[in-house]
Amino acid sequence: MTVGGEAYLILAALLFTIGAVGLMIRRNVLVMFMCVELMLNAVNLTFVTFARMLNDIGGQAVVFFVLVVAAAEVVVGLGIIVAIFRRRSGATADDLHLLKG
Amino acid sequence: MILAATRVDAAVFAISAVIILTGAIGVVTARNPVHSALMLVMTLFGVAVLFVAQEAHFLAAVQVIVYAGAIVVLFLFVIMLLGVDKEESIEADPLPGQRPIALVLALMTLGELLLLSRMQNSWAAGVESDAGPLNGPGTNVEKLASVIFTRYLLAFEVTSVLLVIAVVGAVVLARKPRRASEEQPEPVGGE
């Protein structure tokens, strides 16, 4: 418990930035989804760190809810991706600019 | 004794940080989506280790079970079912100027986050939350359960509704489309 909270916050900031870069430069929708998961994990790490620094269990409760929402989001997002891939074989986000079925 | 504990903590943090950042960079740079998913598992395990290091034992277990055990497996299922595990060339930049702009935006975000993490006194308002202390009596699971089932009970119930909606939505979305001749508006699930 001796590593300061600032180190955790800096690590979470780096993780969030890597996820954001990946989301912006990759074209494969599945990899973009994984980058969103990276950003969510960075935020979870921040919440747990603040829960420790501020001595507050609420931070960990928020992480619990973030996990549930992330699971629901992945299920619906992958369902959408499966539905899109059934209709067309394009694998990149550039092919989806029409938003038509 | 205290010095030894300090060194162990620092070593755990350093090793986990290296694992997390290596996995994250691997997710972004791997050409094959399957490799990206496996690198994502690495990052998720590193984050779980840091949860344990910060006394969030329940969340570490849930992180491994839900993320590494369910979400990444779902990703791999979709990758393999759809057969999209083709290698993607990431050298070419399809949209000119996108990567420099992305890097600039990301560096701005990083700078802002680092600045915020250095301002130790500005994010703590000094007000005790009503969720309860982290270092009170009882185990981590007991404290987290008591706060979720009392203070955040409504939010907990709403998440169960959200999960049901997500299941129904996934079933509706992933169903095989009918033939074009008998195309009709699909009934909304749950009615």
Q: What is the CATH number of the domain that holds A62?
A: 1.10.287.3510
**Who wins on pLDDT, B127 or B146?**
B146
Instruction: For the full predicted model, state whether its pTM sits above 0.90.
Output: no
pLDDT of B42 higher than 90: yes
The pLDDT-based confidence of B191 (bands split at 50, 70, 90) is very low
Q: Which of A66-80, B1-15, B79-93 has the lowest mean pLDDT?
A: B79-93
Contacts of A57 in chain B (CB under 8 A): 131-134, 136, 143-144, 147
The pLDDT-based confidence of A99 (bands split at 50, 70, 90) is low
Return the residue in A49, A64, A69, A100 with the most chain B beta carbons within 10 A, the one to mutate for interface testing: A64
What b-and-e string marks burial along B4-20, b requiring 16 or more CB atoms within 10 Å of the CB?
Answer: eeeeeeeeebeebbebb
**Who wins on pLDDT, B55 or B158?**
B158
H helices present in B63-132, as ranges: 72-82, 98-118
Q: Does B43 sit within 8 Å of A38, measured CB to CB?
A: yes
What b-and-e string marks burial along A8-18, b requiring 16 or more CB atoms within 10 Å of the CB?
Answer: bbbbbbbbbbb
DSSP per-residue letters across A56-79: -THHHHHHHHHHHHHHHHHHHHHH
The pLDDT-based confidence of B190 (bands split at 50, 70, 90) is very low
Check residue A98 and give its pLDDT.
60
pLDDT tens digits, B128-152: 667 777 777 788 888 889 889 998 9
Contacts of B120 in chain A (CB under 8 A): 6
**Is residue A29, in this structure, part of any structural domain at all?**
yes
Check residue B31 and give its pLDDT.
86
Q: How far is A42 from chain B (nearest CA, A)?
A: 8
Contacts of B51 in chain A (CB under 8 A): 45, 48
Residue from the list B82, B165, B171 with its beta carbon closest to the beta carbon of A85: B82
| A23 Cα distance to chain centroid | 10
Q: What are phi and psi of A83, to 5 degrees?
A: -65, -40
Half-sphere exposure of B119 (CA within 13 A, CB side): 10
Residue from the list B13, B40, B110 with its beta carbon closest to the beta carbon of A37: B40
The pLDDT-based confidence of B9 (bands split at 50, 70, 90) is confident
C-alpha distances (whole Å) from B94 to each of A93, B98, B105, B167 are: 11, 8, 19, 35
Q: Does B55 sit within 8 Å of A31, measured CB to CB?
A: no
**Is residue A18, in this structure, part of any structural domain at all?**
yes
**Is residue A16, in this structure, part of any structural domain at all?**
yes
Q: Does B170 sit within 8 Å of A76, measured CB to CB?
A: yes
Q: Which of A19-33, B82-96, B110-124, B168-182 has the lowest mean pLDDT?
A: B82-96
CA angle A19, A92, B93 (to 5 degrees): 70
pLDDT tens digits, A70-98: 999 999 988 888 887 777 666 566 666 66
CB pairs under 8 A between A and B: 245
Q: Does B66 sit within 8 Å of A67, measured CB to CB?
A: yes
Contacts of A63 in chain B (CB under 8 A): 56, 59
Residue from the list B40, B114, B176 with its beta carbon closest to the beta carbon of A13: B114
Number of domains chain A is built from: 1
Structure tokens, B1: 């004794």
Taking the C-alpha atoms of B50, B55, B58 and B63 in order, what is their torsion angle to the nearest 10 degrees? -10
Contacts of B28 in chain A (CB under 8 A): 18-19, 21-22, 25-26, 31, 35
Q: Does A16 sit within 8 Å of B162, measured CB to CB?
A: no
Note down the domain range covering A67. 5-96
Q: How does the average pLDDT of chain B come out, rounded?
A: 82
Q: Does A71 sit within 8 Å of B56, measured CB to CB?
A: no
**Is residue A26, in this structure, part of any structural domain at all?**
yes
Beta carbons within 8 Å of B141's beta carbon, 6+ residues apart: B57, B58
Q: Does A67 sit within 8 Å of B75, measured CB to CB?
A: no
Check residue B21 and give its pLDDT.
95
Q: How does the average pLDDT of chain A come out, rounded?
A: 84
Check residue B100 and give its pLDDT.
86
From first CA to last CA, the distance across chain A in angstroms is 53
Check residue B163 and give its pLDDT.
93
Taking the C-alpha atoms of A76, A79, A85 and A91 in order, what is their torsion angle to the nearest 10 degrees? 40
Region B154-177: what's the mean pLDDT?
A: 89
pLDDT of B124 higher than 50: yes
**Is residue A34, in this structure, part of any structural domain at all?**
yes
